[in-house]
Every structure is written in C-alpha cells, then in structure tokens.
C-alpha cells in the first residue's frame, strides 16, 4: 500500500511539473485552463449547444417551440437514409475553429470532452445501439492526416459508456475529393458507392443497430451513404451522432 501511494504521489508531481512547463490550454483559443481537453469560460459560453425543440428524425433545431414529435419539412418530404440524428452544437463562427483544430491541427486531446458532450446530446441513441462506428477515412487520407477524428470520438464514447465500438467495420473504398466546396448534389455524387461493410463482419452486423459518429454534418450526404451501406449489409437500423451541424432556417437536412 505504501509503495502504491508513493507511485501515485510521484505521478501527481510529474503531471504538475508538466503542467507548469506546458500549461493546459483552451481547445479553442489557447487561453490557459485548469485541465487539458477543456474550454475556457468565454469559449464555453460562446458554444451554441443544440437543445429541443428539434426534428425527431434529423435533429434539425427549430427556431420556435413545437410539438415534441415534430418532423421538419425536409424529412417529411424525403425521409433520410438514417433513422435518427442528433448533434451537440451548431457549426458556425463560434464553433468552426474548435472543430477544425480537432480535425486538422492535432488537437486530439479534445476527444474525451467531445465524447462527454455527445453522450448527453445522444443519450437515447446510445441506449438503443448495439455498437458505435465512425465515418471512415480512405486509407490514403488517413495516412496523410495520421488519425481519424471520428474514430477518436468513437473510442472515447466506448470508454465513457462501455458500449461496443468497431472502427474497422465500415470501409471507405473510394478516395473522394474534399466535400468542402461542393453543392448538395455534388456531395451526393461524390460519396455515391464510396462506403461498404467489411465482408468478414457482414454476418455479425445483421440485425444489429448501429450508431454512426462523425464530426460535422453539412448536407447529410456522407452519413446517408454510410447508412445505406450499413443497411444493405443487414443493419437493423442506423442512428447518427454528430459533434457539430450546419443549421438551415429553411428546414433542410444538413
């Protein structure tokens, strides 16, 4: 017991020494904060977290109070390929830097905090799922970026909730160009047939509900293509959990 206490004490001292040399900084603005992987108070207050009322299908936040089971116009006209989607926050001026740092600037220490936020935003989806999978990167992009930000959040969600995760079940088989400047139709064409379930795991997938995780939802083209691939392979249902989504006042699915 005494030796264990000493080891823990030395670890605490070591972490404090590291923090003194390299103090933890806000994930968004680099202000010094109390713990790694957190936001300063100003950035926290600026995050536009999504809360009800929202579309029960795609999770689009409504600008006015409505019935709990309301569906937006886009989902009524053309139901999405996924069953339900929920998002943590709106993607815009207040959150763009936070997401892009995580995605492109190696600020991967935010994964645990984002997983906590996602667990709150998508509690019902986590309760219903049999496993959690990330939207995959093509191997060439993964080699260039060195990590898949969606997979980092999936792993953190698994550790937080105890849910089964599988980062290798869904494959991206086409090296598609970036979606950034494409129209909705262009995005749909870009990811058509880009995903498939790993053949060795298809039998296990049949009849199970999947929770698909990604960082940003814009037009819904990518998560829709993933959902179609999972359902074709036998998934009983696919829900989607997103860190940040673009919101459109017109009510279109983003």
Q: Are residues 156 and 83 in the same domain?
A: yes
Q: Are residues 125 and 158 in the same domain?
A: yes
pLDDT band (50, 70, 90) for residue 244: very high
pLDDT at residue 184, rounded to an integer: 64
What average pLDDT does the segment 122-131 reach? 97
- b/e sequence 189-200, b meaning 16+ C-beta within 10 Å: ebbeebbbbeee
Position with higher pLDDT, 136 vs 175: 136
Q: Tell me the average pLDDT of the chain.
A: 86
DSSP 36-96: TT---HHHHHH--B--SSB-TTT-PBPSS---TT---HHHHHS--SSSEEEEEEE-STTTH
Q: Decide: 157 and 165 in contact? Cβ < 8 Å.
A: yes
**Max mean pLDDT range (29-33, 66-70, 112-116):** 112-116
Q: Decide: 151 and 138 in contact? Cβ < 8 Å.
A: no
pLDDT at residue 253, rounded to an integer: 37
Q: Are residues 177 and 57 in the same domain?
A: yes
The 10s digit of each residue's pLDDT in 68-88 is 779 999 999 999 999 999 999
The 10s digit of each residue's pLDDT in 33-48 is 988 888 999 999 999 9
What average pLDDT does the segment 214-230 reach? 94
Q: Are residues 78 and 163 in the same domain?
A: yes
In a domain, 215, yes or no: yes
Q: Which domain holds residue 6?
A: 1-34
pLDDT at residue 106, rounded to an integer: 87
**% of the chain exceeding 90 in pLDDT:** 63
Tell me if residue 136 falls in helix, strand or coil: coil
Q: Does residue 7 carry a pLDDT above 50?
A: no
Q: Are residues 93 and 172 in the same domain?
A: yes
In a domain, 20, yes or no: yes
């Amino acid at each position: 017991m005494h030796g264990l206490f000493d080891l823990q004490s030395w670890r605490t001292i070591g972490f404090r020494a590291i923090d003194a040399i390299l103090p933890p900084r806000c994930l968004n603005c680099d202000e010094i904060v109390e713990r790694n992987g957190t936001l300063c108070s100003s950035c926290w207050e600026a995050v536009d977290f999504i809360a009800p009322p929202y579309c029960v299908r795609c999770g689009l936040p409504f600008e006015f109070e409505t019935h709990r089971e309301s569906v937006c116009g886009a989902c009524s006209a053309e139901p999405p390929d996924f069953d339900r989607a929920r998002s943590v926050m709106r993607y815009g001026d207040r959150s763009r830097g936070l997401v892009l740092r995580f995605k492109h600037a190696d600020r991967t220490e935010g994964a645990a905090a984002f997983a906590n936020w996602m667990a709150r935003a998508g509690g019902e989806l986590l309760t219903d799922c049999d496993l959690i999978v990330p939207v995959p990167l093509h191997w060439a992009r993964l080699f260039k970026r060195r990590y898949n930000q969606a997979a980092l959040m999936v792993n953190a969600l698994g550790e937080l909730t105890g849910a089964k995760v599988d980062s290798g079940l869904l494959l991206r088989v086409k090296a598609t160009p970036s979606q950034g400047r494409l129209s909705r139709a262009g995005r749909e064409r870009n990811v058509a047939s880009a995903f498939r379930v790993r053949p060795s795991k298809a039998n296990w997938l049949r009849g199970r509900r999947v929770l698909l995780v990604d960082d940003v939802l814009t037009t819904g083209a990518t998560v829709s293509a993933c959902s179609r691939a999972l359902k074709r392979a036998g998934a009983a249902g696919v829900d989607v959990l997103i860190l940040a989504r673009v919101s459109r006042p017109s009510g279109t699915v983003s």
